[in-house]
Chain A
Amino acid sequence: MRFAIQVNASPYQSNTGHSAYRFIKAAVAQGHEVFRVFFYHEGIYHAFKHTTPPDDELNLTPCWSELAKQHNIDLVVCISAAQRRGLLCGDEAQRQGKQGDDLATEFRIGGLGQWIEALIEADRVLVFG
């Protein structure tokens, strides 16, 4: 089955992002396909590359990057939600006359169109948070 996943909560706001991550691992392990994860609302905070929690705590952002690389999952961060909250990739920062490049590896900035495409193409759509 083809899944599309939306993550709406930030990593330290609730466990829903972590639940989404674990769900995807389990689904992939059972032979399902998760082709896109869309980060929206406060969910965009999963994509900040400089998250630096203490060593004995889970750092979810690199876990997402690793998962995406392993299973070819498209991690899309909504551009308008990201810009509101100050998350800009290098290209976008330059375009806006700002400095910075805060997007973690394997994530990409995209639009709502990519999420709608996923909604239409997926057999199942799950919203976390």
Chain B
Amino acid sequence: MYLASLLSKIGQIKPVKKILFALRKPPHSGAYVQEMLDIIMTVAAFDQEVSIILLDNAVFQLKKQQQPELANLKATAAIYKALPLFGINDLYTETESLQERGLNVASLEESVIAIPRAKIGDFFKQFDLVLTG
């Protein structure tokens, strides 16, 4: 009930915002990554246009061949698989963040577009809101 009234209220008064989440933390930073993905999915559920860029150690959030269950941890890459259900299809990363860690886009679980560091500033400009986490 509350959610429905909130949604209609927002729909009436404000246009959709283009929101970029710039993530920098590696997986298993406490509950940090999980909590960021919670925010991201909620924003998308409110019909905002959401993109994600993985910078620095955040590229490890999507690295293939992780076995976190062996350490009783949640698989962050698995949460990303749910994102298309929320209409989130635009995943980006920075070319140098991958290179500096001996990775490339093929090392990642999802299909991700790599943007060179020199063009990241321009890339950010297309969004109404950039949220870091």
Contacts of B32 in A (CB 8 A): 41
Contact at A113–B38, with CB atoms within 8 Å? no
Min CB distance B103 to A, Å, is 26
Which of B42-50, B84-92, B112-120 lies on the face that meets chain A? B42-50
Is A26 engaged at the interface, CB distance under 8 Å to the other chain?
no
Contact between chains at B131 and A125 (CB < 8 Å): yes
A60 touches B (CB below 8 Å)? no
Known: A41-B35, A112-B39. A119 touches B19 (CB 8 A): yes
B46: contacting residue among A8, A40, A41, A116, CB under 8 A: A116
Q: Tell me the number of A-to-B contacts counted with CB atoms below 8 Å.
A: 48
Task: Report A77 CB to chain B, min CB distance, Å.
Answer: 13
Cα separation A46 to B132 with both chains bound (whole Å): 20
Q: Tell me, yes or no, whether B10 is within 8 Å of chain A by CB.
A: yes
Is B68 positioned at the interface, with any CB of A under 8 Å from its CB? Answer: no
A120 close to B10 (CB less than 8 A): yes
0 or 1 for each of A92-127: is its CB under 8 Å from B? (1 = yes): 000000000000000000001101110111000101
Enumerate the 9 nearest inter-chain pairs by beta-carbon distance, A residue then B residue, closest first: A112-B42, A116-B46, A120-B14, A120-B10, A116-B43, A41-B35, A116-B42, A113-B6, A125-B129
